[in-house]
Amino acid sequence: MADEPLRLPSGQGGLTRFSEEIHSKLELSPQGVMIIIGIVFVVLLLLHYFGGKFLTS
């Protein structure tokens, strides 16, 4: 039993560190995200009120 090597825990405490050099090809500002959310919200409202006319014959 004393001849087995002792296994010590990782020095990072189980944290995984990802490379900080990877950059997304699509970067949006917070204002851009809010504009996209607003557009999606308006489209959903329009579909809710007028979607039945478009989807039924």
In tens, the pLDDT along 10-37 reads 565 556 666 666 777 888 899 999 999 9
Cβ burial 7-46 (10 Å sphere, 16+ → b, else e): eeeeeeeeeeeeeeeeeeeeeeeeeeeeeeeeeeeeeeee
Query: What distance in Å separates the CA atoms of residue 57 and residue 52, rounded to the nearest whole number?
Result: 9
Query: What distance in Å separates the CA atoms of residue 45 and residue 57, rounded to the nearest whole number?
Result: 21
Query: What distance in Å separates the CA atoms of residue 54 and residue 47, rounded to the nearest whole number?
Result: 9
pTM exceeding 0.85: no
